[in-house]
Amino acid sequence: MDFEAARARLVEHLSLEIGDARVLAAMSRIPRERFVPPQSRHLAYEDMPLPIGLDQTISQPFIIALMTEALEFTGEEKVLEVGTGSGYQAAILAELARLVITTERLPALAETARNILSELGYTNIEVRLAEETLGWRREAPYDAIMVTAGAPRVPADLLAQLKVGGRLVVPVGSRYVQELYRITRRRGKNTVQNLGGCRFVPLIGKDAWEEG
């Protein structure tokens, strides 16, 4: 299969709705096929989520692009990703930000993602095993935070790790369907924007869903 041609077609498709050229350029450089199981690689550039094992998924490319665009990167950010999963989203963030801290609660996924990202040459991504509290407090505050799992509410722990003026993108709703929100932290009332409906696996942890 010609993955480069398939990738180009996908990026052209995404450009109909995604206006940030830097996001599209990043996605045109990253081999998504490396982040999916071998049996799914022929589907790597379809605009759909794919299973990656352990009841987790690699998100639909359009949703990945939308969430990334919403963080409005300049290239100087320190960004936190909650939910490493396959590592694909972390790679995109690393193309657009100065430093990426990404947390994953499942050790097998964290190790696989760490290995793939290292093989691809990324030196500005730190993969961490998630702790009980959401995020990674010891590196806070962050310029931007992306949550790649659905939360029952906007997690206060993550807002507290965000700089004033920083952006948090998080799916909020039930365990099965959510709305995607961008929250900009302000000194007074935070700014909230609804980016539309989405479906993510549940966010597990304190201030989120319980496992099971």
Active site residues: 59
State the Cα–Cα distance between residues 169 and 196, nearest whole angstrom: 12
State the Cα–Cα distance between residues 138 and 133, nearest whole angstrom: 11
Place of tokens 């050229």: 21
State the Cα–Cα distance between residues 88 and 128, nearest whole angstrom: 15
Q: Provide CB contacts within 8 A for 4, sequence distance 6+.
A: none
Beta-strand ranges (E) seen in 31-177 are 50-53, 56-58, 78-82, 99-104, 125-129, 142-147, 162-173
State the Cα–Cα distance between residues 60 and 83, nearest whole angstrom: 15
State the Cα–Cα distance between residues 24 and 55, nearest whole angstrom: 28
Virtual torsion, Cα 18, 20, 22, 23, nearest 10 deg: -40
